[in-house]
A and B are shown apart, each in its own frame.
Chain A
Amino acid sequence: MRRNECIAMLLAGGEGRRLGVLTKDLAKPAVHFGGKYRIIDFTLSNCVNSGIETVGVLTQYQPLVLNRHLGIGSPWGLDRRDGGMHVLPPYVRQKGGSWYKGTANAIFQNIGFIERYDPEYVLIISGDHIYKMNYELLLEAHKANRADATIAVISVPWADASRFGILNVDEDGKVLEFEEKPKQPKSNLASMGVYMFSWPVLRDALLRDDEDKMSSNDFGKDIIPKLLGEEARLFSYRFDGYWKDVGTIESLWEANMDLLEDSPALDLNDRSWRIYSVSPNQPAQYLSPEASVTNSLINEGCVVEGRINRSVLFHGVKAGKGSFIEDSVIMPGAVIEPGARIVRAIVGENAIVGSGCQVGSVDSEHIAVVASYDHIVPEIPLEEANPL
């Protein structure tokens, strides 16, 4: 890819309300995933691995943790003299200025940034999804089709199709119809929220969208349908790999568990497509003589003295003697004290689960959640529960 032929705009303002206590103090793209990473690492690594070296990251909601994580982009090799990563928060102008109103408005407010690089193509992606995708192939397809816009799509189960933006396409992949969350979907091709635009087309569409007072300034709701109505050349690009929107506690838990399958659809150990992240810089994990670990992912700095099965442990987790962790996700720095039991749960960053406590249960329909920095103590004092 020629330098700055294509630049990426990464929408990272997601509030992630459905993740409850896990997003109390941080934006959704900064939520921990996969034992080591944060959700946004996947899209940033995709950009770098695809040869895109200029990325604008649009932040808005609770940006402190996210900004700290992003830094100057060096973990992803995006600290460049020319281009690289730029964090783009909303800002005040001479005549007002405002928060980002919708996805399209966020890009509209940063037209100035894009113009500085004068790209031919602009890739719009979101920091909320877990997937590995070569955007270079998407760009090639976009060029081959002489498209104005190309939308990456993935087949979803028919039963779930009504939750997505659904595309109806012809045999060449040309988009005929776009329906946002249709009641009766005519296809199961869902938009992944990954758009490749020819910049002049996008620029024009954004300017007109801003003038439309009825518009909600959103790509899925406004820009795409409008372009389609104007008979612009809209194409779909089929993606067959693993893709997951980890927007809810259940889906976040599931996506973590997916990594533990025999041959996971999302291979973190693929040397040709590394996922980069901020290094926690901790020593190799220590497993004590009493430890038992099976079918799990464990990161650096952990001290394991208990039994772990089908679980994901982030860096610096301590699992004390006689503790038991199964089907669970334990976020960085959490302490599972001796004798505690964690089953079907997500334990937040630096939380402490006290001796003898139980979190979650095998037959529970829901995934139990312990908030970050929470300290769980037994309801009955230990001495009473286990009289000597």
Chain B
Amino acid sequence: MKLPLMGIINLIHETEEMGALTAGRCLATVPFGGRYRLIDFVLSSMVNSGISNVSVFAHTKFRSLMDHLGSGSNWDLHRKQKGLFVLPPAMENQTDFGKGDLYHFWRHRDYFRRSEHDYVVITRSHMVCNIDFSLVLEQHRERGADVTVVCKRWPNATTGLTRKARLDPDGRIAEMQDHFGRLASDIVSMEMYVLRKELLVDLVETSLAQGKDHFVRHAVLSRLGELRVEAYMHEGYLGVVNSIPAYYRHNMELLDQKVWRELFFEPGPVFTKVKDEPPTRYRDGSTVVQSLVANGCEIEGEVRNSILFRGVKVRKGAVVRNSIVMQNGVVREDGTIENCILDKEVEIRKQQQLKGSADMPFLAVKRNVI
């Protein structure tokens, strides 16, 4: 059954402190978990929930996004009816770039008008989770909320940038902060908002008329008194990936088999762009323990507590420890890396030794030879 819900993945002014990882790509296409991009998690969740109409509001550096999403066929979103829409910024002049998401929603107002669905879910791309949005919509309708915000009780939120929220005893959001502040609460917002499409269109127009253009700050938070804004509590895994320490930590969490199983299989599978790599080849003398290894790798050396993306080569005598090596990385003979993140196509020379620390891993820039 199709949900009367349209999905919007909002990439406009995404909050990120990802340094070199987002130098040439948007946050949505940062590689994650051995073979995925961040956007795959929310996009697959939408598709598995029965959402058949998804739009991605692209903003900057979206070449890799277009390349990754293509026609949407990998998510079964290449349809005659509905399907996937990538909406680049439609601006009148350069200064419009700086305007908030409400302005960009307004520029694409025809898109909202044409959709037949009554409800909208607006998300970001960096919340790594596997969630059933039909349950969020169900609670939204049952409670008669104006806006439902997906939240997570997250006592050890230390790394990623999140909004903290305080709830009323009846689950209504009483207070929510920006990414900083001293709000004493262990509940964080997952930046996923369900509301009626009509209400959204109304919020867009009234806010812009008042000179306000930020969806969360202006349209929702400033109306906590007048709108019924409720929380939906997500029980599954969550990784908030918008800083380097958070990126490293949440990747490493996947090495816990329970997290691996939960994130990748429940409630549905996570889809990504197919790459047609052969199975990974382990050669004589390889030692690989407690690691996540994607296809197309060739391993002759030692890999411990690490994540290897597709097509990575670890040569004889090389050691990879507590590290993340992205697509087509090479660690040559007797090279050693520890607590490192290698962006795509980084090559570590023979006998080279690289070491970062667990709370601030060494980050190698894409296509670098070290």
Contact = CB atoms under 8 A, between A and B. Distances in A.
Given A283-B264, A284-B35, A294-B285, A277 B291 contact: no
B286 A294 contact: yes
Contacts of A75: 274
Nearest to A293: B282
Contact of A291 (B269, B289, B308): B289
Interface residues of A, number: 37
Contact of B295 (A293, A299, A303): A299
Contacts, number: 107
Interface residues of B, number: 38
B34 A284 contact: yes
Contact of A279 (B265, B274, B281, B307): B274
Contact of A287 (B264, B291, B295): B291
Interface stretch (A205-213, A268-276, A340-348): A268-276
B257 A285 contact: no
A261 to B, nearest CB: 11
Given A269-B298, A283-B35, A284-B294, A289 B289 contact: yes
B284 A300 contact: no
A291 B73 CA distance: 36
A274 B282 contact: no
Contacts of A286: 255, 257, 260, 291-292
A184 interface: no
- Determine the main DSSP class of A at the interface with B: loop
Nearest to A311: B282
A279 B288 CA distance: 24
Nearest to B275: A279
A276 B276 contact: yes
B209 to A, nearest CB: 46
Please name the 6 residue pairs, one residue from A and one from B, whose CB atoms are nearest each other, closest first.
Answer: A284-B34, A35-B279, A268-B278, A283-B264, A299-B279, A284-B294
Contact of A288 (B272, B276, B282, B289): B289
Contacts of B283: 294-295
A268 B287 CA distance: 22
B35 A303 contact: no
6 contacts: A283-B270, A284-B34, A284-B292, A287-B293, A288-B290, A312-B279
A281 interface: yes
Given A286-B292, A287-B291, A294 B279 contact: no
Nearest to B273: A279
A290 B282 CA distance: 16
A297 interface: yes
B292 A74 contact: no
Contact of B284 (A269, A284, A294, A313): A294
A314 B274 CA distance: 17
Interface string A291-315: 1111111111001000010001110
Contacts of B34: 283-284
A36 interface: yes
Contact of B281 (A269, A291, A292, A308): A269
B289 A287 contact: yes
B296 interface: yes
Interface in A73-102: 74-75
Interface in B290-320: 290-296, 298, 307-309
A294 B284 CA distance: 5
A297 B291 CA distance: 16
B279 A295 contact: no
Interface of B: 33-35, 73, 255, 257, 260, 264-265, 269-272, 274, 276, 278-296, 298, 307-309
A298 B282 contact: yes
Contacts of A360: none
Given A275-B276, A286-B257, A308-B282, 12 more contacts: A281-B272, A282-B269, A283-B264, A283-B270, A285-B292, A291-B290, A293-B282, A293-B286, A294-B283, A298-B282, A300-B294, A313-B279
A275 B279 contact: no
A34 interface: yes
Given A284-B35, A286-B257, A294-B284, A36 B289 contact: no
**Central interface residue in B255, B280, B287, B289, by most chain A CB within 10 Å:** B280
B269 A281 contact: yes
Nearest to A289: B290
Contact of B290 (A36, A287, A303): A287
Nearest to B285: A294
A288 B292 CA distance: 9
Nearest to B278: A268
Nearest to A74: B73
B284 to A, nearest CB: 5
**Central interface residue in B285, B291, B294, B296, by most chain A CB within 10 Å:** B291
Contacts of B255: 286
Interface in A31-67: 34-36
Nearest to B295: A300
B289 A284 contact: no
Contacts of A313: 279
A299 B290 CA distance: 16
A155 B270 CA distance: 46
Contacts of B276: 274-277, 279
A287 B270 CA distance: 20
A298 B292 contact: no
Contacts of A308: 282
Contacts of A279: 274, 276
B286 A34 contact: no
A266 to B, nearest CB: 10
B280 A285 contact: yes
Contacts of A292: 287, 289
A247 B255 CA distance: 40
Contacts of A287: 288-293
Nearest to B284: A295
A184 B270 CA distance: 58
A296 B282 CA distance: 5
Contacts of B295: 36, 284, 299-300
Interface in A233-290: 268-269, 274-277, 279, 281-290
Contacts of A297: 278-282
Nearest to A268: B278
A74 B292 CA distance: 28
B98 to A, nearest CB: 38
A42 to B, nearest CB: 12
A313 to B, nearest CB: 8
Contact of B257 (A35, A274, A303): A303
A285 to B, nearest CB: 5
Contacts of B265: 283
A300 B272 CA distance: 13
Interface string A7-19: 0000000000000
